[in-house]
């Protein structure tokens, strides 16, 4: 193989090795500068090439390492910056919390434990409760919050709106439809207020119409199914009655003439016609019987053909076996005699005791063993 064709092999026009740029690993020949063998270079040349390759490789590694370190440095720098920023932010927050705490403490000390604002609220709350108590005593029962507030403000009762909304929501469901409290009739304003989270009346009406239509269709379908089942049942009943009647007429036969469709006793039927029919029936039966007998005969023949051969055939086979066994015995005996003679000749004649003679001796011994088995199997058959 010439050097120009190296690496092209059976895999077609695929560049590899030096043709591709003398790379390493999967990119070409693994670390070998040249193909070793007959065209091997001198030691110095090869060493020079190897050194150049090594230097190139190391340079590549150095550059890669340098790039990587630069990248890592950038990342580290960014990370440090971010951490410092976070710490500064945390410090600021901590400072703010501490300041607020100090201010609160200072305020409490100044007011003798409580701030003026808080005191004021307490007084107002106490006054409100007192007023409420008096109101309750006057009225003789507890009032709802919204109602009390409206009375205090001097507002009138409204049909709906934000004040009544929560109350109405709570009331719905527990109260029966007919028994509404006074002033809670469904006015136009209330309807308007309620329409926010619901559908309009028209939409409701449409839905109702669709529901009605669906129910109607279902009803019709059910009725149709019922009707079909009924019709089928009637049809089956009629067929059953018809069959029953036919059976009865057949059983009766020609006893009662002119009744039913059994084909036995028609009104105008004559005696001669009846006899003819009976005769035809008899002939048909006879024909059937003949066919049956013929089939049985055929089966018998088939059985006889498939059965083992008769006694005469067995005798013939036996005689053949005897002849074969006689021939086998004769051949076996002759073989034993000849092999025995050969063995004796080699044993007692010194002229024949060479390498060929010894080979014949061993061969004949083996033959004798085989022939003995052969004769011991064939001889009893001959004798029997």
Cα–Cα distance for residue pair 133/143, rounded to 1 Å: 11
Quickly tell me which residue has 């409490």 as its tokens. Answer: 108
Is 29 in contact with 18 (CB distance < 8 Å)? yes
Domain edge (last residue) among 214, 230, 249: 249
In this predicted structure, what is the pLDDT of residue 64? 93
Q: What is the pLDDT, as a whole number, of residue 62?
A: 94
- Domain holding 61, by residue range, is 50-97
Write down the pLDDT at residue 372.
Answer: 85
Q: What is the token pair recorded at 242? A: 């018809």
Is residue 237 packed enough to be buried (19+ CB in 10 Å), middle (13-18) or exposed (0-12)? exposed
Q: Residue 236 phi/psi, 5° resolution?
A: -65, -40
Contact 176, 143 (CB under 8 A): no
Does some domain include residue 238?
A: yes
Which residues have C-beta within 8 Å of that of residue 326, sequence separation ≥ 6?
382
Q: Which residues have a Cβ under 8 Å from the Cβ of 14 and sit 6 or more positions away?
A: 7, 8
Contacts of residue 28, defined as CB under 8 A and 6 or more positions apart, other chains included, come to 16, 17, 18, 20, 21, 22
Task: Transcribe 159-198 into DSSP letters.
Answer: SSSHHHHHHHHHHTTTS-SS-PPTT----HHHHHHHGGGS
Distance between CA 295 and CA 301 in Å, rounded? 10
Final residue of a domain: which of 69, 97, 125? 97
Query: Taking the CA of residue 137 as centre, how many other CA atoms within 13 Å lie in the half-sphere pointing to its CB?
Result: 6
Instruction: Give the tokens for residue 154.
Output: 């001097």
Between CA 65 and CA 74, with CA 71 as vertex, the angle to 5 degrees is 140
Contacts for 314 with CB less than 8 Å, ≥ 6 apart: none
Whether 367 maps to a domain, the answer reads yes
d(CA 207, CA 200): 11
The whole-angstrom separation of Cα 105 and Cα 191 is: 55
* Confidence (pLDDT) at 348: 87
Assigned domain for 110 exists: no
The predicted pLDDT at position 55 comes to 93
181 part of a folded domain: no
Per-residue confidence (pLDDT) for residue 30, from 0 to 100: 47
State the DSSP string of 94-149. HHHHHHHHHHHHHHHHHHTTS-HHHHHHHHHHHHHHHHHHHHHHHHTS---HHHHH
Q: How much is the pLDDT for 259?
A: 46
d(CA 339, CA 361) in angstroms, rounded, equals 9
Domain membership of residue 117 (yes or no) is no
309-324 pLDDT per residue, tens: 555 555 666 677 778 8
Residue where a domain terminates, one of 216, 249, 282: 249
Q: What residues have CB less than 8 Å from 328, skipping those under 6 apart?
A: 374, 378
Residue 90 lies in a domain: yes
Q: How many CB atoms lie within 10 A of CB 215?
A: 10
Which run of H or E residues covers position 336?
A: helix 311-348
One-character DSSP codes across 234-296: HHHHHHHHHHHHHHHHHHHTTSSTT-SSSSS--TT--HHHHHHHHHHHHHHHHHHHHHHHHHH
Q: Domain for residue 342, yes or no?
A: yes
What string of pLDDT tens digits covers the 384 residues of the chain? Answer: 444 455 555 555 656 555 555 555 554 444 455 555 545 555 555 667 888 899 999 999 999 999 999 988 888 877 888 888 889 899 999 999 999 988 888 876 666 555 555 566 777 777 777 788 888 877 776 556 676 677 777 655 555 544 455 555 555 555 555 555 555 555 544 444 455 455 566 677 788 888 899 999 999 999 999 999 999 999 888 888 888 888 888 887 755 444 444 555 554 455 566 677 777 778 888 888 888 888 888 888 888 777 655 555 556 666 777 788 888 888 888 888 888 888 888 888 888 878 888 888 888 888 888 888 888 887 777 666
Rounded CA separation 181/175 (Å)? 9
Q: Answer whether 190's CB lies under 8 Å from 160's CB.
A: yes
Q: How many domains does the chain have?
A: 3
Residue 208 lies in a domain: yes
Other Cβ atoms within 10 Å of 342 Cβ, number: 19
């Amino acid at each position: 193989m010439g050097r120009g064709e190296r690496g092209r092999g059976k895999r077609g026009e695929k560049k590899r090795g030096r043709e591709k740029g003398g790379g390493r690993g999967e990119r070409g020949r693994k670390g070998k500068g040249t193909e070793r063998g007959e065209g091997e270079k001198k030691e110095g040349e090869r060493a020079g090439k190897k050194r150049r390759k090594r230097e190139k490789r190391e340079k590549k590694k150095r550059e890669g390492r340098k790039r990587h370190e630069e990248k890592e440095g950038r990342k580290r720098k960014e990370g440090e910056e971010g951490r410092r920023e976070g710490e500064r932010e945390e410090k600021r927050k901590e400072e703010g919390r501490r300041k607020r705490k100090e201010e609160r403490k200072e305020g409490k000390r100044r007011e003798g434990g409580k701030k003026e604002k808080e005191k004021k609220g307490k007084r107002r709350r106490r006054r409100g409760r007192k007023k409420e108590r008096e109101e309750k005593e006057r009225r003789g029962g507890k009032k709802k919050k919204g109602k009390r507030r409206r009375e205090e403000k001097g507002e009138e009762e409204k049909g709906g709106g934000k004040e009544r909304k929560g109350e109405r929501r709570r009331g719905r469901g527990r109260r029966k439809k007919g028994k509404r409290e006074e002033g809670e009739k469904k006015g136009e304003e209330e309807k308007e207020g309620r329409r926010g989270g619901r559908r309009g009346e028209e939409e409701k009406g449409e839905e109702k119409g669709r529901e009605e239509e669906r129910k109607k269709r279902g009803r019709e379908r059910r009725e149709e199914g019922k009707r079909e089942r009924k019709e089928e049942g009637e049809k089956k009943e009629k067929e059953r009655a018809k069959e029953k009647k036919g059976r009865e007429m057949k059983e009766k036969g020609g006893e009662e003439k002119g009744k039913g469709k059994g084909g036995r006793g028609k009104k105008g039927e004559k005696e001669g016609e009846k006899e003819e029919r009976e005769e035809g029936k008899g002939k048909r039966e006879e024909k059937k019987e003949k066919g049956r007998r013929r089939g049985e005969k055929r089966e018998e023949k088939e059985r006889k053909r498939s059965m083992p051969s008769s006694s005469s055939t067995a005798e013939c086979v036996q005689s053949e076996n005897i002849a074969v066994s006689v021939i086998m015995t004769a051949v076996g005996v002759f073989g034993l005699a000849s092999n025995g003679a050969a063995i004796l000749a080699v044993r007692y004649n010194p002229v024949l005791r060479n390498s060929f003679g010894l080979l014949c001796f061993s061969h004949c011994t083996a033959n004798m063993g085989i022939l003995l088995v052969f004769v011991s199997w064939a001889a009893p058959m001959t004798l029997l």
